Structure 1
Amino acid sequence: MTQIFVSRPLPDQVLDAARALGTLTVRDSNAPLTPDELRQSLRDYDVVLPTLGDMFAAEVFADVPTPKCGLLANFGVGYNHIDVQAAKAAGVVVTNTPGAVTDATADIAMTLMLMSARRAGQGERLVRAGKWQGWHPTQMLGMHLSGKTVGIVGMGRIGTAIAQRCHFGFGMNVLYYNRSKKTLPFVATQLADLADLAHQADVLVMAVPSGAATWHLANSEVFAAMQPHAHFINISRGDVVDEAALIRALQEGQIAGAGLDVYEQEPHVPEALIAMENVTLLPHLGTAALEIRAGMGLMAVENIKAFLGNATPPNLVLHT
Structure 2
Amino acid sequence: MAASERRRLLITRPMTAAVEARASAEFDVEIRQETTPLSPEEMRQSLGAFDLVMPTLGDAYSADVFAAVPQPRCRLLANFGVGFNHIDAEAARAAGVEVTNTPGAVTDATADIALTLMLMTARRAGEGERLVRSGQWQGWHPTQMLGLHLSGKRLGVVGLGRIGDAIARRAHFGFGMEISYLARSDKETAYPATRASNLIELAASVDMLVVAVPGGAETRHLINADVLAALPSHAHLVNIARGEVVDEAALIAALQAGQIAGAGLDVYEFEPKVPAELRAMEQVTLLPHLGTATEEVRSAMGHMALDNCVAFLTGAPLPNPV
TM over 0.5: yes
Q: 2:312 aligns with which of 307, 315, 318?
A: 307
2:206 aligned with 1:229: no
* Equivalent in the alignment of 2:27: 22
Find 2:41's aligned residue among 36, 39, 42.
Answer: 36
Deviation of 1:48 (Å)? 0.1
Aligned to 2:180: 175
Measured in 1, the distance between the counterparts of 2:20 and 2:281 equals 41
Instruction: Give the gaps of 5 or more residues in structure 2.
Output: 1-5
Hey, what does 1:286 align to over in structure 2? Answer: 291
State the secondary structure of the residue aligned to 1:176. strand
Residue number among 243, 265, 269 corresponding to 1:264 in the alignment: 269
Give the structure 1 partner of residue 12 of structure 2.
Answer: 7
SS in 1 for 2:209: strand
- Matching residue of 2:3: none
1:81 aligned to which of 69, 80, 86: 86
* 2:245 is aligned with 1:240: yes
Task: Encode CA deviations 1:259-298: one digit per residue, 9 max, x unaligned.
Answer: 0000000000001100110000000000000000000000
The equivalent of 1:134 in structure 2 is 139
SS of the residue corresponding to residue 26 of structure 2 reads coil
Unmatched segments (≥5 aa) in structure 1: none
TM-score w.r.t. structure 2 length? 0.98
1:147 match: secondary structure: coil
Q: Which residue of 2 aligns with 1:217?
A: 222
Distance 1:305 1:19 in 2: 13
Which AA in structure 2 matches 1:84? A
**Which residue, out of 195, 213, 237, partners 1:208?**
213
* Alpha-carbon distance, 1:60 to partner: 0.3
Deviations 1:195-232 (CA, angstroms, capped at 9, x unpaired): 01000110000000001111100000100100000000
- 2:123 alignment counterpart: 118
Question: What number of residue pairs does the alignment pair up?
Answer: 317
Displacement over 4 Å in runs of 4+? none
Q: Which moved more, 1:213-222 or 1:9-18?
A: 9-18
Asked if 1:66 is matched to 2:68, the reply is: no
Q: How far apart, in 1, do the equivalents of 2:113 and 2:9 lie?
A: 32
Over aligned residue pairs, what C-alpha RMSD do you find? 0.7
Q: CA deviation at 1:187?
A: 0.7
Partner of 1:232: helix, strand, or coil?
A: strand
Displacement of 1:20 in angstroms is 3.3
Tell me how far 1:65 sits from its aligned partner: 1.1
| Pick aligned residue for 2:167 from 162, 175, 184 | 162
Determine the C-alpha separation between the residues in 1 that align with 2:19 and 2:291: 19
Which piece of structure 1 moves more, 212-221 or 12-21? 12-21
